[in-house]
């Protein structure tokens, strides 16, 4: 994918996410912008996929927008919205559907088979890890944080026994491992 196409996709993603989130859920929008800023930091490690990562980062939580809530599981609602209302790039839609170990949360909600069948996980582990990294090292207000603090914050906010709390506790080791893999990939980048 060329740089020009990348930039077009990122600009489009930003305008869609802003339209859906900034008015209805300003804090989610601040978080999404912070996640996009993290994605920009990873651009050199992702080379050709940098635009795709940036677009997915901006849009990953779009499914929280109240008008888009159908199942109440935001990765699935967001991905279906992007596919059905915007005919979005298939890889982008699959990244949004699977962001930050959504399959594990889908399992808690009895939606794993539906999610897997409709939006298979991308076979690009570094790109998938990179989106985990961006989301899980950004606070709800869009500031940088550590994955450890982020997981604690999520458990505290939703409650340890909620679907999200159970999911994040199960996913935490995977989250930390993904962040470490991205850190390792960044460490090999020329500065
Ligand atoms: Fe997020």
Interval 62-72: pLDDT, tens:
999 999 999 99
Residues sharing a CB contact under 8 Å with residue 184, sequence separation 6 or more, in sequence order:
none
Please tell me the distance between residue 62's alpha carbon and the centre of ligand 1 in angstroms. Answer: 9
- The encoded tokens of residue 141 equal 């207000």
pLDDT of residue 163: 87
C-alpha distance across the termini of the chain, in Å: 24
Number of domains the chain contains: 1
Q: How far is the CA of 108 from the centre of ligand 1 (A)?
A: 18
- Under a CB-based contact definition with an 8 Å cutoff, are residues 79 and 97 in contact? yes
Report how far residue 151's alpha carbon sits from residue 127's, in angstroms, rounded to the nearest whole number.
21
Band (pLDDT 50/70/90 cuts) for residue 156 is very high
Range(s) of the domain holding residue 138:
3-187
Using the mean position of ligand 1's atoms as its centre, give its distance from the Cα of residue 87 in Å. 22
């Amino acid at each position: 994918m060329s740089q020009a196409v990348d930039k077009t996709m990122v600009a489009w993603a930003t305008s869609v996410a802003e339209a859906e989130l900034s008015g209805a859920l300003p804090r989610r929008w601040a978080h999404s912008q912070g996640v996009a800023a993290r994605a920009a930091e990873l651009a050199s490690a992702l080379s050709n996929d940098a635009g795709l990562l940036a677009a997915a980062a901006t849009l990953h939580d779009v499914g929280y927008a109240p008008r888009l809530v159908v199942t109440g599981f935001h990765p699935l609602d967001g991905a279906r919205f992007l596919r059905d209302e915007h005919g979005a790039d298939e890889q982008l839609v699959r990244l949004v559907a699977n962001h930050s170990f959504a399959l594990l949360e889908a399992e808690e909600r009895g939606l794993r088979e539906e999610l897997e069948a409709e939006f298979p996980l991308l076979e690009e582990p570094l790109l998938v890890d990179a989106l985990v990294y961006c989301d899980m090292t950004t606070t709800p207000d869009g500031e940088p944080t550590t994955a450890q603090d982020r997981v604690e914050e999520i458990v505290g906010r939703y409650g340890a026994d909620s679907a999200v709390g159970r999911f994040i506790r199960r996913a935490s080791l995977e989250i930390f491992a993904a962040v470490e893999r991205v850190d390792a990939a960044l460490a090999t980048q020329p500065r």
